[in-house]
Amino acid sequence: MTVFVILFGGFPSAPSWESESGDYSTGLAVWDVNGDGYPDLVVSNGNDMARESVEVYLGASPLPFTTPSWSSSVARYHGHLSLGDVDGDGDMDLAVAGFSGYGAGWNMEVNALYLNDGGTFLPLPVWTSDSGRCFGVASGDVNGDGLADFLFSCGNDYSSDPQPAQLYVSDGSTLVGPVWQTPDSIYSLGAAFLDVDNDGDLDLFLGLSPGRHRLYLNLGGYLDTVPVWESDSLGFANRIAVGDVNGDGWVDVVVANTFQMDTARSRFELYLNVGGTLETSPSWVAYDPGRYHSAVALGDVDGDGDPDLVGGGWWDPLVLFENLGGTFSSSPVWYWQPTPYYDLVAENIVLGDIDLNAAVPISDTFTLSPPRNVVRLSHSPVVSINSVRLDGRPVPYVLLYESGYLSVPSDSVGPSSALVVSYTYTPYADITVSNWEDSRGNFIFLNDLPSSVASRPGPSVPEDGTVYDVAGRRVERMGRGIYFVVKGGKVGKVLVR
């Protein structure tokens, strides 16, 4: 039996897919790692409960296989994971954080890198770090060489063991470092890269757990060691998402704060970007529903062109807050919770197009000049990259598919270089959730809005130039959102931003 409330059309009243049970699933990525055209699920397991492997669920039509097709040969207390091209061969490699085991006396683990070899990750890591207690990992091209670097968020508040957050960079085949770390030992469970000041490189948002969240600027390919910004209030960041919530061209930050020792303070927070820096106090906060807000993702789920917020928690509902004119609804417009409620402990949420029923092809063109080497694609989440060409030639690139950031080698950028990126994105994102509760599996909720919307427009004798909105109503002019335009006797979909 499943108990749910649904106020927003588009998502089913029960999961569309569930993987096999038995793991303490934590890290999650959704990407076509083997190049067959179908999004795959990459899941890291273990958390602080057991030594378990990393697994890949291969994508298929319409849903992925429920049993993994690949498992790492090494079992660890894995935290989160991140994907990025470390060796410049065009496919996604895998970095996994090593955390700490509750039942093993809070032992230390190592972080690991698994290379993608022709569509399959190697069973053994090609790199491991020194031992530590790291739970989060974020990818991004910090030094501008067009190869993926990884920031590990470290420190275990449970065992009173703070540690610096550490950055490792690619040397073209593996990771080296750390080349940067916070000067102080802290507790941090999550981080995200973003271009907060729109200067063409990636800065670092570091969530503290507990502590005041921080922002470190990128200064010519190096992260500053002194944060340029701190939040006013203490947080307990577990997961972080970035996106332009209010559509002003500056990327904002959403944080899921668990506060597992003080549930009254657990909350989702939105920090708006004000002309290149973040507001120090969040302009939108949600405390309910939930007790342990642990996971958050941003993406368009209703096809209106702006990012909505999907969140979850430990033993809490999965919730959706709609973007309403640049901020989020005060209450969820959809939520789902299993019975019993403790069958869902959300660790990570990823938005994408699992069944490929709403993948939209598009091409963006940018003009770059040194030292800028980072752009943000006009739409995200990104489903696939078709080509990346700088002045007409293919170049290596690093993609952050959830936020849409893409970087190319800075030494390949000349005065007024033309960067053309062809890719697909989805305006009707599906929801994928990694679930720590080992009696259940991981979940996918398919978004059925594309099929219902596509069937609405269409008069019996349409005239060229006739425009309909998503409800099938004829309109005279288009604002922001999805529209259907008649041309040549056919109906085509148009997104206006």
Tokens found for residue 142: 């910090």
Residues 58, 55: Cα–Cα separation, whole Å? 10
Instruction: Report phi then psi at 343, rounded to 5.
Output: -80, -5
Tokens found for residue 232: 């006013």
Are 298 and 381 within 8 A, CB to CB? no
Task: Give the pLDDT of residue 2.
Answer: 35
Residues 21, 181: Cα–Cα separation, whole Å? 37
Task: For 92-123, write each residue's pLDDT tens digit.
Answer: 999 999 999 998 889 999 999 999 999 999 99
Task: Give the pLDDT of residue 477.
Answer: 74
Are 149 and 141 within 8 A, CB to CB? yes
Strands (E) in 360-449, as ranges, are 360-368, 374-376, 382-390, 393-394, 398-400, 405-407, 417-425, 430-435, 443-445
Paired strand residues for 487? 490
- The answer to whether residue 52 scores a pLDDT higher than 90 is yes
Q: Which residues contact 20 (CB under 8 A, 6 or more apart)?
A: 66, 67, 68, 441
> Taking Cα atoms as reference points, which of 52, 64, 2 lies closest to residue 22?
52
Are 398 and 141 within 8 A, CB to CB? yes
Residue 476 pLDDT class (50, 70, 90 cuts):
confident
Residue 469 pLDDT class (50, 70, 90 cuts):
low
Average pLDDT of span 478-497: 58
Task: For 241-283, write each residue's pLDDT tens digit.
Answer: 999 999 999 999 999 999 988 888 999 999 999 999 999 999 9
- The answer to whether residue 485 scores a pLDDT higher than 80 is no
Q: Which residues contact 118 (CB under 8 A, 6 or more apart)?
A: none
Average pLDDT over the chain reads 91
Tokens found for residue 354: 């699992």
Task: Give the pLDDT of residue 497.
Answer: 56
Residues 12, 149: Cα–Cα separation, whole Å? 37
- Measured at the CA of 11, the angle between CA 285 and CA 63, to 5 degrees, comes to 120
From residue 479, alpha-carbon distances to 8, 121, 364, 496 in Å are: 22, 45, 21, 7
Residues 306, 329: Cα–Cα separation, whole Å? 13
Residues 416, 277: Cα–Cα separation, whole Å? 27
Are 404 and 379 within 8 A, CB to CB? yes
Q: Which residues contact 10 (CB under 8 A, 6 or more apart)?
A: 301, 302, 334, 428, 447, 448, 449
From residue 61, alpha-carbon distances to 58, 65, 163, 444, 447 in Å are: 10, 9, 44, 14, 15
The two most distant CA atoms of the chain are separated, in Å, by: 73
Average pLDDT of span 411-432: 96
Half-sphere exposure of 300 (CA within 13 A, CB side): 28
Average pLDDT of span 39-67: 96
- Cis, peptide link before residue 459, omega less than 30° from 0: no
8-state DSSP, 140: E
> Taking Cα atoms as reference points, which of 175, 121, 126 lies closest to residue 152?
175
- Measured at the CA of 387, the angle between CA 383 and CA 391, to 5 degrees, comes to 140
Paired strand residues for 453? none
Strands (E) in 90-143, as ranges, are 93-98, 112-114, 116-117, 120-121, 127-128, 134-140
Residue 151 pLDDT class (50, 70, 90 cuts):
very high
Of all residues in the chain, the percent with pLDDT exceeding 90 is 85
8-state DSSP, 463: P
8-state DSSP, 454: H
Residue 489 pLDDT class (50, 70, 90 cuts):
very low
- The answer to whether residue 345 scores a pLDDT higher than 70 is yes
Task: Give the pLDDT of residue 492.
Answer: 53
- The answer to whether residue 76 scores a pLDDT higher than 60 is yes
Are 4 and 18 within 8 A, CB to CB? no
Of all residues in the chain, the percent with pLDDT exceeding 70 is 90
Paired strand residues for 235? 211
Q: Are strands 334-338 and 346-352 parallel, antiparallel or unpaired?
A: unpaired
Residue 3 pLDDT class (50, 70, 90 cuts):
very low
Residues 412, 485: Cα–Cα separation, whole Å? 40
Task: Give the pLDDT of residue 460.
Answer: 38
**3-class secondary structure, 201:** coil
Task: Give the pLDDT of residue 22.
Answer: 97
- The answer to whether residue 457 scores a pLDDT higher than 90 is no
Task: Give the pLDDT of residue 466.
Answer: 74
Residues 408, 406: Cα–Cα separation, whole Å? 7
Task: For 165-215, write each residue's pLDDT tens digit.
Answer: 999 999 999 999 999 999 999 999 999 999 999 999 999 999 999 999 999
Average pLDDT of span 306-311: 97
Q: What is the secondary structure of 72-91 as a DSSP string?
A: -S--B-EEEEEEE-SSSSSS
From residue 422, alpha-carbon distances to 61, 363, 365, 372, 495 in Å are: 23, 4, 9, 20, 17
**3-class secondary structure, 412:** helix
